[in-house]
């Protein structure tokens, strides 16, 4: 079993903690001195860099939220000048303004190194041919995996998303051994191959899949592994932290979070209190060495737990359990983040329908489908079907523009949808992962 950087990855836990503390201390001093944003935040919280005298003192520092990035669009909280940036990535902006993430040369190196360790932990290396079927471009998945795979000496096939039959042909022609994509795309690939009369298990060299960017279950992993004759590994990351960075090792028992790169906390989402190892809560991460856009105690919103025991693979860095859900009501539809509040916002701008709606999410084959049921306003009712179809198309177009994902629309009569006195339950998620 190969380890990319044994000196770091097998570092005794105590030493790792010391290293984390040194990075944290440096980070806090740097930000307090040079970032207006962090300086103000820390003053508001009445915390000074001198108050950080141990790793545990991190709890004195303020949290950071996704809204901080949006409110400071595009780059107001960057701590590196533009001429030191070598790349931007931009989120899809599904909750309103997109968020922009910038990278210095060193930020990219750390990101790439993180993935080099992770892909090695998943058993990949020189000799592997890796098809990267995550989107290339503003989305972090494609380029992130691309450079990580090149770093370990694998041969990259940068297929990006779509054109599935061609992807399967290439998989055969170039003897692809590994793939990185969303779990639902993996299922879709398997189904498409089957229609083409190709068995992934028997007719290709595919052995490893690195899957992430949307939730999936252990049951789904087992089924994929069995049907396609592959080992499937969970990968984790978010664009705010760089992009995909962390994967499981061959043990398939938790995602290794490299401690020198990220400090992980699990908190109670309501109180903000840190929770002990093993307890489920909201994942909070501090990226310890980030230059362009430092993230301290970033509240990701994903629910998981942390395991700090040494992994049987020998790596000492903590692992997080596969993501169990979200603190907020975010949905992930075909890899795109969707909030019911966005749907509401879009509907309120359409006079022909009311603000009452319900979202039904299903998975048909490998594809997520999202149906929005919305009440037609009585004034807009016409007994000409074409008039109602026009309204339906209008709603459909507006929602697609807002959400960046196509949704089905079902118009229903006024009052047909349930009303809520407390918190509205607007989402029915029928997906079986």
Partner 1 sequence: MKTEDYIIKQISVFSENRPGRLAAIAKAMEEEEINIFAFSIAEAKGFGVVRVLVDRPKDALDKLVNIGFMVSFTDVIAVSMHDVPGGLYEIANILAKSEINIEYSYAYSGKEAAVLILRVDQAEEAVQRLLDNGANLLKSEMFA
Residue indicated by tokens 């970032």: 35
* Contact status: 136 vs partner 1 (CB under 8 A): no
* Contact status: 396 vs partner 1 (CB under 8 A): no
* Contact status: 410 vs partner 1 (CB under 8 A): yes
Kindly state the smallest distance separating residue 363's Cβ from partner 1, in Å: 20
What residues from 265 to 324 belong to the interface with partner 1 (CB under 8 A)? none
Among 40, 416, 420, 430, binds partner 1 (CB under 8 A): 416
Q: Distance between CA atoms of 20 and 56, rounded to whole angstroms?
A: 11
Binding mask 355-384 for partner 1 (x = CB under 8 A): ---------------------x-x--xxxx
Among 19, 388, 398, 424, binds partner 1 (CB under 8 A): 388
Kindly state the smallest distance separating residue 331's Cβ from partner 1, in Å: 21
Among 415, 425, 428, 430, binds partner 1 (CB under 8 A): 415
CB nearer to partner 1: pick between 412 and 424: 412
Kindly state the smallest distance separating residue 255's Cβ from partner 1, in Å: 41
Q: Which tokens sit at 252?
A: 């398939």
From the list 55-63, 256-264, 299-307, 413-421, the region that binds partner 1 by CB under 8 A is 413-421
CB nearer to partner 1: pick between 194 and 410: 410
Sign of CA dihedral 20, 21, 25, 31: positive
Burial code of 376-397, b = ≥16 C-beta within 10 A, e = fewer? beeebeeeeeeebeebbeebee
Kindly state the smallest distance separating residue 430's Cβ from partner 1, in Å: 17
CB nearer to partner 1: pick between 86 and 417: 417
* Residues contacting partner 1: total by CB under 8 A: 18
CB nearer to partner 1: pick between 327 and 412: 412
β-partners of residue 177 are none
CB nearer to partner 1: pick between 388 and 398: 388
Kindly state the smallest distance separating residue 410's Cβ from partner 1, in Å: 5
Among 389, 397, 418, 430, binds partner 1 (CB under 8 A): 389
Q: Distance between CA atoms of 237 and 222, rounded to whole angstroms?
A: 22
Kindly state the smallest distance separating residue 184's Cβ from partner 1, in Å: 25
Kindly state the smallest distance separating residue 286's Cβ from partner 1, in Å: 48
Kindly state the smallest distance separating residue 203's Cβ from partner 1, in Å: 39
Kindly state the smallest distance separating residue 414's Cβ from partner 1, in Å: 6
CB nearer to partner 1: pick between 336 and 350: 350
From the list 172-180, 291-299, 309-317, 385-393, the region that binds partner 1 by CB under 8 A is 385-393
Distances (CA, A) of 252 to 113, 230, 239: 20, 13, 23
CB nearer to partner 1: pick between 79 and 373: 373
CB nearer to partner 1: pick between 366 and 412: 412
Q: Distance between CA atoms of 393 and 401, rounded to whole angstroms?
A: 12
Kindly state the smallest distance separating residue 330's Cβ from partner 1, in Å: 26
CB nearer to partner 1: pick between 62 and 408: 408
CB nearer to partner 1: pick between 348 and 389: 389
Residue indicated by tokens 């503390």: 21
Among 83, 202, 385, 401, binds partner 1 (CB under 8 A): 385
CB nearer to partner 1: pick between 146 and 392: 392
Which residues here bind partner 1, judged by CB under 8 A? 376, 378, 381-385, 388-389, 392, 409-416
């Amino acid at each position: 079993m190969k380890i990319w950087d044994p000196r770091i990855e097998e570092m005794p836990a105590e030493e790792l903690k010391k290293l984390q503390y040194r990075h944290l201390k440096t980070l806090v001093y740097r930000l307090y001195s040079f970032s207006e944003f962090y300086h103000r935040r820390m003053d508001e919280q009445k915390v000074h860099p001198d108050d950080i005298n141990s790793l545990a003192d991190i709890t004195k520092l303020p949290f950071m939220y996704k809204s901080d990035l949006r409110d400071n669009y595009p780059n107001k909280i960057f701590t590196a000048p533009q001429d030191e940036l070598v790349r931007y990535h931009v989120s899809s902006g599904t909750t309103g303004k997109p968020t922009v993430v910038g990278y210095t040369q060193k930020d990219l190196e750390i990101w790439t190194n993180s993935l080099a360790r992770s892909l090695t932990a998943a058993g990949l290396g020189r000799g592997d041919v890796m098809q990267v079927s995550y989107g290339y471009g503003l989305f972090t998945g494609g380029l992130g995996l691309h450079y990580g795979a090149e770093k370990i000496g694998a041969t990259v096939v940068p297929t990006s998303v779509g054109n599935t039959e061609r992807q399967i042909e290439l998989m055969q022609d170039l003897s692809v051994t590994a793939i990185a994509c969303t779990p639902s795309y993996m299922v879709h690939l398997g189904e498409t191959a089957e229609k083409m009369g190709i068995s992934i298990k028997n007719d290709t060299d595919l052995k490893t899949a690195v899957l992430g960017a949307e939730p999936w279950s252990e049951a789904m992993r087992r089924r994929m592994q069995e049907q396609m004759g592959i080992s499937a590994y969970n990968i984790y990351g978010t664009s705010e932290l760089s992009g995909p960075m962390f994967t499981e090792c061959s043990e398939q028992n938790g995602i290794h979070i490299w401690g020198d790169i990220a400090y992980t906390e699990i908190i109670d989402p309501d109180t903000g209190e840190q929770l002990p190892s093993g307890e489920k809560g909201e994942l909070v991460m501090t990226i310890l060495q980030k230059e362009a856009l430092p993230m301290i105690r970033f509240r990701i919103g994903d629910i998981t737990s942390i395991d700090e025991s040494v992994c049987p693979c020998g790596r000492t860095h903590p692992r997080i359990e596969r993501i169990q859900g979200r603190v907020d009501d975010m949905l992930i539809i075909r890899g795109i983040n969707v909030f019911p509040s966005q749907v509401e916002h879009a509907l309120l701008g359409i006079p022909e329908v009311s603000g009452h709606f319900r979202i039904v999410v299903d998975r048909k084959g490998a594809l997520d489908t999202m149906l929005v049921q919305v009440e037609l306003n009585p004034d807009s009712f016409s007994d000409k079907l074409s008039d109602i179809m026009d309204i339906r198309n209008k709603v459909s177009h507006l929602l697609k523009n807002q959400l960046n994902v196509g949704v089905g629309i079902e118009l229903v009569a006024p009052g047909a949808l349930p009303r809520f006195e407390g918190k509205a339950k607007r989402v029915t998620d029928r997906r079986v992962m």
